């Protein structure tokens, strides 16, 4: 996120729910943002330990496999190949 913010002028990020918390937890963004819009974002990070516990207790094998494919070779084609049929561009 910070890399994208540095590369563009007049950057405005919008974060919904957990996405807003990710934006708030990235202090490197602040000097590069024109604005930040938060939608239904928690006011603090007290939710995070419960969220981590829930994700560990309920793994998503398809998401983990797709992440491994992309991390090994970060290309758009690898993202598209991990999407269920009918969801690709």
Average pLDDT over residues 2-16: 90
Tens-digit pLDDT profile for residues 26-81: 888 999 999 999 999 887 778 778 888 988 898 888 888 888 888 898 888 877 77
The total of structural domains in the chain comes to: 2
Residues 6+ apart with CB under 8 A from 25: 45
Residue 89 belongs to some domain of the structure? no
Say if 41 falls within a structural domain.
yes
Query: Given CA atoms 16, 29, 24, 72 in this order, what sign does their dihedral have?
Result: positive
What is the DSSP-derived secondary structure letter of residue 71? H
Q: Which pTM does this prediction carry?
A: 0.49
pLDDT given for residue 85 in this prediction: 61
Both 34 and 63 in one domain: the answer is no
Q: Is the pLDDT of residue 88 over 60?
A: no
Asked if residue 52 is part of any domain, the answer here is no
| Side-chain half-sphere exposure of 43, counting CA atoms within 13 A | 0
Residue-level pLDDT at 75: 83
CA 55 to chain centre: 15
Domain residues for the domain of 26 are 1-46
């Amino acid at each position: 996120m910070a890399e994208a913010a540095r590369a563009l002028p007049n950057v405005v990020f919008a974060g919904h729910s957990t996405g807003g918390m990710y934006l708030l937890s990235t202090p490197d963004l602040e000097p590069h943002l024109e604005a930040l819009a938060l939608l239904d974002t928690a006011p603090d990070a007290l939710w995070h330990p419960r969220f981590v516990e829930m994700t560990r207790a309920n793994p998503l094998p398809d998401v983990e496999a797709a992440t491994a494919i992309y991390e090994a070779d970060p290309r758009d084609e690898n993202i598209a190949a991990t999407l269920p049929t009918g969801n690709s561009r």
